[in-house]
Every structure is written in structure tokens, then in C-alpha cells.
């Protein structure tokens, strides 16, 4: 075994080159060489593999790699995790058995990579882990708790629009006596959305999740409804906007073409992309209404502006689109306030945004 452990930056660079070139064997060789040089599995997972995965997402957002490259690189990184996890028995550590937990993604959440990292770290720490993967329907998650009586459910979410589904999962698991530890970008950098939804804990990363479990999560005893955590939902604005989503998107598309003549020259693909972008906008507005937090909406608009600008998309139609949407929300005081906050945030930024041509 080598006595010189290479720095994380060196291994990250080597793994990045391997995944970008599509070389699964080279990628696995990088982490195996790290093991031989004295790296621990957990550190490789979190300080090397996770760091490269974060770079994959950043490079896609900056339009420096394609969607196909991003998918291929992620798939290789997942197989790297498998190679680390499935070592021969003689080479695996034998940690103490701490208990049994369920690690899963919110219903609708396809970004399973963070949850997989958490699952493998917990296994290394001695937990028996039931890893359910992406977009687990809440009824099936609860049925699994009846079958296993987990010590905790670790719920992962990356996209804020899944927060209402996360809330349903949290309250349903707690109703059968299983505490929920939330994690992922969807719950906010400081975990404020996890707290708002009544989760029993929040962790910023896999090490934090392990520490929270080791500290212990008490079994919940109270049964709650959504409005117990979020009393503003009684105004029904969230529900009505969700029900009206298709109508809102159609109306904004129709009026946007009248006010933005360039749209008349769009081909079918561009029109489809524009409709997709508007669906995302309405979905994030609905989520902002659910959480009663305008920042959910304005943060999404800011991120979208960066992505679209990186792709060279024209930028001056989104303000018009938001004006049209505001006209449709005259009877929704909170929704109207959030749309105006989004428009104000965009007008104060350096970059303009457009609703066309690039899915967000």
C-alpha cells in the first residue's frame, strides 16, 4: 500500500477527466487507487465523488457540457459508488449494527444521487439501510414502515416544487410513529423548509445525517394536518393555482404571442420549450404559495436567468410573461404579491431573462 495519500483535488481532477471522457473503468480505478493510498471509503464518497458530481451539475448549468454528457457522467459516478460499496468481504470494514433506517427520495424527485451517497455512508457507519431510490410514492413509503418499523426515514429532495409532496411524506411517516430526517437543496440551505414542514430533523449532508441519527431522533406521537404546520393554506390560493395551471399556461402563451411578436416566428419545438418553461414558472409560484415564501419563486427566476443567459437565449420576454401572469392572478393577493416580487427581483438584476427556447 502506498504511504502517500494524494490530495482530494488530485483525485477529483482524475475522476472528473474519467467521467467526462466516459471511461467507467478509469473512474473506478481512480477511487480504488485512492483506497490503496490510504483513503477511507466515506471520505472518497463525500470529498471526491460528491465533489465531482457537484461540478457536473455546475458545468451543465453553465452550458459547458451537454445534457447527454451530464447523464453519462452521473451514471459513471453511480457505478463508482457501487464499486466502493461492493468490495469483497475481506476488504470491507465490519462496523457495529446501529439500527435500521429507510433512505428515499420525495415522490416525483428523480435526483437520487444525494440519497445514494447518504445510504452508503450510513452503511459504512453500521446502519442497516433500506434504500428505496428515486420518487417513492408516499403510500408505498408508509407501507414499508409498517413492514420494517424503521428507526427513521431519511427523505431527500433537490427540487423545491416537490416540497408539498415532501410535507405529505413527513406527516404520513410521523403518523405511524417513524421520525423523518430531511435533507437536500429543496429544504433550503439552512433547513428552514424542513422545519416549516415539521420534519423531526434536517441535515446539510451525509455526515450531518449520520450525526443526527447517532444523537437519536425521538418517535413522534402527534398526528398533524398540513394546515397545522402551514396555516396560510386555508386561503386556498395554492390549491387554486395548481388546479388552474393548464389554463394559466395557455393564457400566458396566447397573450405573450400578441405582445411579443418574435414568438410568431417560433417553430413547434420552440413553442413546446416555451410552454415547458411557463409550466415550471407556475409550479414554482405554487410552491412559493404553499410555503408562503416569495424567495422560492424569486430564487428560481434568478437561477433560470443564469441558465438561459449561458445558452444565449433572448432575455426581454420574461418580464412581459410575468405581467400577463399577474393579470390572471388579480383575485390571488399572495400570488400577485409573489409575481410582482419576482418581476422586481429580475428588473434589479444585471441579466435579463426570456421565456423561450430552453427548458429550465
Q: Is 29 exposed, middle or buried (0-12, 13-18, 19+ CB in 10 A)?
A: middle
Q: What is the pLDDT of residue 90?
A: 46
Q: Tell me what pLDDT residue 358 has.
A: 33
CA distances from 146 to 19, 149, 165, 174, 201 (A): 40, 6, 20, 12, 21
pLDDT tens, position by position, 233-250:
999 999 999 999 999 999
Q: What pTM was estimated for this model as a whole? A: 0.88
d(CA 117, CA 77): 11
Q: What's the pLDDT score for residue 5?
A: 86
Task: Estimate the share of the chain in helix, then strand, then coil, as percent rounded to the nearest 5.
Answer: 65, 5, 30
> What was the pLDDT predicted at 26?
96
pLDDT tens across 84-115, in order?
888 765 455 566 688 999 999 999 999 999 99
Low-confidence ranges of the chain (pLDDT < 50): 1-2, 90, 349-360
Amino acid at each position: 500500500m502506498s504511504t502517500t495519500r494524494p490530495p482530494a483535488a488530485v483525485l477529483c481532477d482524475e475522476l472528473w477527466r474519467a467521467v467526462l471522457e466516459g471511461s467507467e473503468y478509469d473512474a473506478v480505478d481512480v477511487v480504488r487507487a485512492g483506497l490503496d493510498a490510504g483513503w477511507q471509503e466515506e471520505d472518497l464518497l463525500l470529498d471526491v465523488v460528491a465533489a465531482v458530481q457537484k461540478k457536473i451539475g455546475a458545468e451543465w448549468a453553465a452550458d459547458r457540457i451537454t445534457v447527454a454528457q451530464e447523464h453519462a457522467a452521473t451514471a459513471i459516478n453511480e457505478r463508482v459508488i457501487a464499486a466502493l460499496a461492493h468490495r469483497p468481504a475481506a476488504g470491507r470494514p465490519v462496523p457495529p449494527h446501529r439500527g435500521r433506517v429507510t433512505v428515499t427520495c420525495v415522490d416525483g424527485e428523480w435526483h437520487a444521487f444525494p440519497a445514494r451517497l447518504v445510504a452508503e455512508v450510513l452503511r459504512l457507519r453500521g446502519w442497516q439501510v433500506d434504500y428505496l431510490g428515486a420518487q417513492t410514492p408516499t403510500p408505498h413509503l408508509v407501507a414499508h414502515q409498517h413492514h420494517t418499523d424503521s428507526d427513521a426515514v431519511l427523505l431527500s429532495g433537490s427540487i423545491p416544487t416537490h416540497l408539498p409532496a415532501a410535507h405529505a411524506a413527513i406527516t404520513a411517516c410521523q403518523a405511524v410513529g417513524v421520525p423523518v430526517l430531511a435533507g437536500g437543496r429543496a429544504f433550503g440551505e439552512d433547513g428552514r423548509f424542513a422545519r416549516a414542514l415539521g420534519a423531526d430533523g434536517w441535515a446539510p449532508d451525509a455526515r450531518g445525517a449520520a450525526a443526527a441519527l447517532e444523537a437519536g431522533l425521538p418517535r413522534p406521537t402527534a398526528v398533524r394536518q398540513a394546515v397545522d404546520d402551514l396555516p396560510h393554506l386555508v386561503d386556498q390560493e395554492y390549491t387554486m393555482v395548481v388546479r388552474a395551471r393548464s389554463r394559466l399556461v395557455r393564457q400566458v402563451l396566447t397573450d405573450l404571442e400578441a405582445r411579443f411578436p418574435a414568438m410568431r416566428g417560433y417553430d413547434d419545438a420552440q413553442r413546446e420549450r416555451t410552454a415547458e418553461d411557463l409550466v415550471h414558472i407556475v409550479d414554482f409560484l405554487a410552491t412559493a404559495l404553499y410555503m408562503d415564501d416569495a424567495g422560492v419563486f424569486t430564487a428560481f427566476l434568478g437561477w433560470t436567468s443564469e441558465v438561459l443567459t449561458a445558452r444565449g437565449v433572448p432575455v426581454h420576454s420574461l418580464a412581459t410573461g410575468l405581467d400577463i401572469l399577474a393579470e390572471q392572478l388579480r383575485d390571488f393577493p399572495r400570488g400577485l404579491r409573489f409575481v410582482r416580487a419576482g418581476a422586481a427581483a429580475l428588473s434589479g438584476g444585471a441579466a435579463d431573462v426570456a421565456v423561450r427556447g430552453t427548458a429550465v
